């Protein structure tokens, strides 16, 4: 019927009537975002038109917009460290600089860490950005290096192969009286399993030359220079930690961790060592273990098993086990076939988790709606919150509260409120002050 109506629309030509397709709100929003591009193409006498939320040019799709969002930054901090960490600079282009205060961590100078995400050079997001990310990072680096130690970390989408990121010193200043000799620090040689160099990689190398920052991957910690990115198309090193040679002493236990199911990127792990920093920490569990050791003997078995989520059933457990098996086999026997098998198992496991979570949330939502109308007591027991500041309230107090608001007459109390009071024991409900 839909196609028949659309074909018959030509019969309404030269009449006061017409037919227009009612699209979903999501598609209408996406069409509105792409409308300037469509007008620009038509202004250049290029035949272009919409098909749902996609633009076609001359019968071919011109712009393909995926449903996935491009990267992003999120910074988390432990509560006990919030007084010593602050956001010093936040730029719209995906650059955030945090400051580690020297008076809190008992260091000689402040430490600045620049977290950055640079979109892929072929992505639609990068094409829309009219900025040079590397110039921005370089200007930020030159500004903050005068204030203290400076590090850069993030997904830079750059591949530099094994090209040296440190300019060699010819020591000619030793023979020139007018130039003060500057001693060049000894920098260990960098290694990398990724041999490819792209355009962004050369920009990253130039950034290192201009700012005297060096790449920690393949130089500090594990010096193999492991891959940090893995998809069906291959593996590469895209994620980096950059720091000055004079700050090598700050970095402790730098490592590229194994691939996991949460991302196609591997986590970068590094610790900052503060020799005189003694935070006020409390370990009640450890004290309990020590006391138990005194009571029960020379050895104490400590085993804490984290329970699975309610939506995590046997099928999800099988998919997780298959993911771990294929990932470990790929890590021990890297090949194109094993890499593709690993990516397939990872995508399958994530897909199954998303479906299970969606079904679980939908089922729980329906159950709560039913409980709200049939069993209010169970409903409130299901959604009650736990907090540090709580107070108890009884039925009589609740009744007086509603009577003071709505009046003394019982007829003024709506049926839903009275049903709630009659079927709920408010002593079981914990409310926030």
Q: What is the pTM of this model?
A: 0.65
**H-helix or E-strand containing 328?**
helix 314-332
Confidence of residue 13 (pLDDT cuts 50, 70, 90): low
Specify the higher pLDDT residue, 408 or 104: 104
Asked if pLDDT for residue 71 goes beyond 80, the answer is no
Query: Do 204 and 161 meet the contact criterion of CB atoms below 8 Å apart?
Result: no
Q: Where are the domains of the chain?
A: 19-67, 79-168+185-272, 283-362, 376-432
Helix axes 376-383, 336-374, angle to 10 degrees: 140
SS3 label, residue 12: helix
- Structure tokens, 190: 């960098």
CA angle 210, 211, 215 (to 5 degrees): 105
Report pLDDT digits (tens) over 111-170.
Answer: 999 999 988 877 777 777 777 889 899 999 998 988 889 999 999 989 999 888 887 765
Mean predicted confidence (pLDDT) in 230-253: 90
Provide long-range contacts, Cβ within 8 A and 24+ apart, for 94-97. Answer: 94/118, 94/119, 94/133, 95/133, 95/136, 95/137, 95/140, 97/140, 97/144
Domain 79-168+185-272 falls under CATH 3.60.10.10: yes
Mean predicted confidence (pLDDT) in 311-330: 91
Indicate the Cα dihedral angle 368, 372, 374, 378, nearest 10°: 70
Query: Do 391 and 431 meet the contact criterion of CB atoms below 8 Å apart?
Result: yes
Q: For residue 73, what pLDDT is reported? A: 82
In the chain, the percentage of residues whose pLDDT exceeds 90 is: 24
**Any alpha helices (H) in 44-158, and if so which ranges?**
102-105, 124-128, 133-144
Asked if pLDDT for residue 385 goes beyond 50, the answer is yes
Query: Do 230 and 196 meet the contact criterion of CB atoms below 8 Å apart?
Result: no
Of 58, 51, 2, 3, nearest to 30 (Cα)?
51
Q: For residue 370, what pLDDT is reported? A: 84
Q: For residue 187, what pLDDT is reported? A: 82
Confidence of residue 384 (pLDDT cuts 50, 70, 90): low
- Structure tokens, 93: 């282009």
Q: For residue 172, what pLDDT is reported? A: 53
Asked if pLDDT for residue 27 goes beyond 70, the answer is yes
CA 210 to chain centre: 30
Q: What is the mean pLDDT of the chain?
A: 78
Length of the chain measured in residues: 433
Q: For residue 35, what pLDDT is reported? A: 84
What Cα–Cα distance (Å) separates residue 211 from each residue in 107, 134, 144, 317, 385? 23, 11, 11, 48, 51
Strand order of the sheet with strand 95-100?
85-91, 95-100, 110-117, 148-155, 239-243, 214-215
CA 37 to chain centre: 30
Asked if pLDDT for residue 357 goes beyond 60, the answer is yes
Q: For residue 14, what pLDDT is reported? A: 66
Report pLDDT digits (tens) over 389-416.
Answer: 455 666 677 777 777 776 655 554 555 5
């Amino acid at each position: 019927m839909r196609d028949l109506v659309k074909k018959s629309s030509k019969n309404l030509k030269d009449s006061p009537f017409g037919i227009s397709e009612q699209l979903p709100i999501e598609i209408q929003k996406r069409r509105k975002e792409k409308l300037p591009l469509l007008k620009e193409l038509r202004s250049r006498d290029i035949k272009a038109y919409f098909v749902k939320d996609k633009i076609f040019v001359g019968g071919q799709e011109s712009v393909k917009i995926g449903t996935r969002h491009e990267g992003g930054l999120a910074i988390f901090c432990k509560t006990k460290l919030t007084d010593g960490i602050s956001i010093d600079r936040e730029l719209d282009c995906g650059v955030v600089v945090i400051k580690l205060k020297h008076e809190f961590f008992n260091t000689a100078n402040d430490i600045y860490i620049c977290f950055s995400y640079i979109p892929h050079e072929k992505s639609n997001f990068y094409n829309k950005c009219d900025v040079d990310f590397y110039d921005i990072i370089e200007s930020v680096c030159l500004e903050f290096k005068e204030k203290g130690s400076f590090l850069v970390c993030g997904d830079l989408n750059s591949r530099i192969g094994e090209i040296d990121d440190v300019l060699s010193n010819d020591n000619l200043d030793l023979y020139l009286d007018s130039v003060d000799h500057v001693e060049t620090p000894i920098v260990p040689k960098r290694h990398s399993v990724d041999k490819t160099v792209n355009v962004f990689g050369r920009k990253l190398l130039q950034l290192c030359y201009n700012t005297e920052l060096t790449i920690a991957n393949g130089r500090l910690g594990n010096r193999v220079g492991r891959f940090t990115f893995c998809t069906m198309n291959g593996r590469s090193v895209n994620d980096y930690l950059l720091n000055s040679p004079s700050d090598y002493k700050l970095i402790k236990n730098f490592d590229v961790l194994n691939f996991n199911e949460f991302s196609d990127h591997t986590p970068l792990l590094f610790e900052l060592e503060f020799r005189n920093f003694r935070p006020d920490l409390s370990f009640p569990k450890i004290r309990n273990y020590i006391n138990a050791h005194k009571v029960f003997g020379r050895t104490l078995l400590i085993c804490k098993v984290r329970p699975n989520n309610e939506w995590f059933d046997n099928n999800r457990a099988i998919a997780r086990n298959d993911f771990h098996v294929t990932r470990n086999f790929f890590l021990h026997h890297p090949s194109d076939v094993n890499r593709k098998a690993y990516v397939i198992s990872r995508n399958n496991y994530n897909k199954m988790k998303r479906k299970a979570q969606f079904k679980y949330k939908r089922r729980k939502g329906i159950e709560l709606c039913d409980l709200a109308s049939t069993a209010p007591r169970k409903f409130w027991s299901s959604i009650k919150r736990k907090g540090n500041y709580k107070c108890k309230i009884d039925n009589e107090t609740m009744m007086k509260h509603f009577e003071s608001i709505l009046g003394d007459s019982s007829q003024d109390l709506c049926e839903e409120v009275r049903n709630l009071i009659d079927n709920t024991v408010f002593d079981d409900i914990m409310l926030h002050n």
